[in-house]
Structure 1
Amino acid sequence: VIVVDDGSDDATDRVALYYSRRVGPDRLRLLKLARNLGKGGAVRRGMLAARGQRLLFADADGATRFSDLDRLERELQSCTGGRCINALICGSRAHLQQDAVAQRSFVRNLLMHGFHLTPNAASKLLTRDAAHLLFCNLHVERWAFDCDLLYLANQFRVTVREVPVNWTEIDGSKIIPVFSWLQMAFDIVLIRLRYLLGAWKIESRHRLE
């Protein structure tokens, strides 16, 4: 487990260090960033520091149940067949299937269902090769990094699957109604334009054979 502390001002680093000393750094590590980079930047650094063959990232607030990891693993196994195939499995909170469970405020539902811009993936499980391929090319370090990640997955023809997971809204979210939506929309437009205009490059050495 890697706990990425994105320049927080609470006790995250102390709690993570406490448990790292208890269980050992081979089982739990702390990656403390000197300054706040944004969610995408924090996730990117954590994924590139990971050592496993299957890499999962999720928020540390408990909104997604880690018991749902089994669903993601089964889907990954079904699409790779145990072979080394690049794949990205998204744990969805979008009510795309009947067994998806979520409890959200009216504003969050409005943002997600009304504008269809808020990323629906609460967690993601990737093969190691896919994680390295995508995160080495990731440009966005704020909330819209999910959109950049999925754009890159499409460009690289990485297999993408979606499975429903349990999700509960946790108090203390940094999403600001209207402002967060506008920021997300602006970032999505910039992602598209920068790739189209060639301002952002996809490194050829990271492309799939």
Structure 2
Amino acid sequence: MLEYPKYSIVIPAYNERLRIIATLDAVVACVRREHWDAEVIVVNDGSTDETADLVRDFIRNAPEVHLMENPSNRGKGYSVRNGIVHAQGNIVMFTDADLSAPIDEADRLFAAIEKDGADIAIGSRWLATSRQTHRQPLYRQFFGRCFNALTRMVMRLPYADTQCGFKAFTRDAAQTVFQLQTIERWGFDPEILFIARKRHFKVKEVPVSWAHDARSRISYLRDGLQMLKELAIVRWNALLGRYGKDITEVDRPELHS
């Protein structure tokens, strides 16, 4: 009988050659220091740089790490879904490749699930702003808050921060939510939270330390307009009943380095 890891940590990556090794160093060091029974899954989203080769080299000395390859560049939402649906852990989380929330903060998400009984734990930058060690420029804070407020209103989500790329799920919640997810790019976060509420999962918002990375690729004009379109798609999906489908759990495959 196969023994599966307790935790799965999914890291979507697109053209991350400048920081993927530092990120994996930090994640693996934390896994070993905290004695987590964990696998780390890097999902390469069709990178055109050396990201995949760097991960393969890293794996030689880090059996905890595995590499998944998307068929092409499909977007962050697709990458997170691909990694999480095929993860083996009983608790599955994803984190951004820039580690804006330090990986040791994952303990706070795990505790919300294991001790507080949440099905889903989501990191929040806004519940305790004093924990922000490097804040965004004011214009990014403004647009981020505006988008979050609009998202909460349109999607009827009660969370202070829907977009933080630091979320954890029980296996059951992960399998259900991500198999129903349809948005493949930046706007997937509100959709998975909408689905979670639709399926009556208990979601707990957890304040986490967070530092803005100036190399962030998101454009509040271009991507913001796309996200507004995707909010409309989610509401349309809900009207069509697409989030009420029965789900069959994906078998836990053995990942190969």
- TM-score over 0.5 (shorter chain): yes
Report if aligned partners of 2:199, 2:244 keep a CA contact under 8 Å in 1. no
Indicate the residue corresponding to 2:176 in structure 1.
133
For residues 43 and 172 of structure 2, the distance between their equivalents in structure 1, rounded to whole angstroms, comes to: 21
Q: Which whole-Å CA distance do the structure 1 matches of 2:50 and 2:240 have between them?
A: 43
| Count of residues paired in the alignment | 198
Contact preservation (8 Å) 1:92, 1:122: no
1:206 to partner: Cα distance: 5.0
Name the counterpart of 1:162: 205
Q: Secondary structure of 1:23's match? A: coil
Q: Which residue of 1 aligns with 2:162?
A: 119
Q: Could you tell me which of 66, 84, 88 is aligned with 2:120?
A: 88
Q: Do the aligned residues in 2 keep the contact of 1:39 with 1:141 (CA within 8 Å)?
A: yes
The answer to which of 46-55 and 15-24 deviates more is: 15-24
Distance 1:131 1:194 in 2: 19
Change over 3 Å in CA distance of 1:68–1:115 after alignment to 2: same
Q: TM-score, normalised by structure 1?
A: 0.87
Contact 1:122-1:167 at 8 Å conserved across structures: no
- Percent of residue pairs identical: 31
Contact 1:4 1:43 in 2 (8 A): yes
Q: SS of the residue aligned with 1:22?
A: coil
Shift of 1:99: 4.5
How far, CA to CA, are the matches of 2:247 and 2:146 in structure 1? 39
Closer/same/farther in 2, CA of residues 205 and 49 from structure 1, 3 Å limit: closer
SS of structure 2 residue aligned to 1:30:
strand
Name the structure 1 match of 2:245.
Answer: 203
Gap regions ≥5 residues in structure 1: 81-85
Shift of 1:124: 0.5
After the TM superposition, which parts of structure 1 deviate over 6 Å for at least 4 consecutive aligned residues?
none
8 A Cα contact 1:56 1:124, kept in partner: yes
**Partner of residue 33, structure 1:** 70
- Whole-Å separation in 2 of the counterparts to 1:100 and 1:13: 33
**TM-score (normalised: structure 2):** 0.71
Contact kept, 8 Å, 1:89 with 1:162, in 2: the verdict is yes
Aligned Cα RMSD in Å?
2.0
Pairwise CA distance, 1:134: 0.9
* Residue pair 1:119, 1:144 contacting (<8 A) in 2 also: no
- Mapped to 2, the partners of 1:193 and 1:74 lie a distance apart of 35
Output the amino acid matched with 1:107.
Y
Q: What secondary structure does 2:173 align onto?
A: helix
Q: How does 1:1-209 map to 2 (within 5 A)?
A: 1-24=40-63, 27-80=64-117, 87-93=119-125, 95-97=126-128, 99-101=130-132, 102-116=134-148, 117=151, 119-198=162-241, 200-205=242-247
Determine the structure 2 residue equivalent to 1:83.
Answer: none
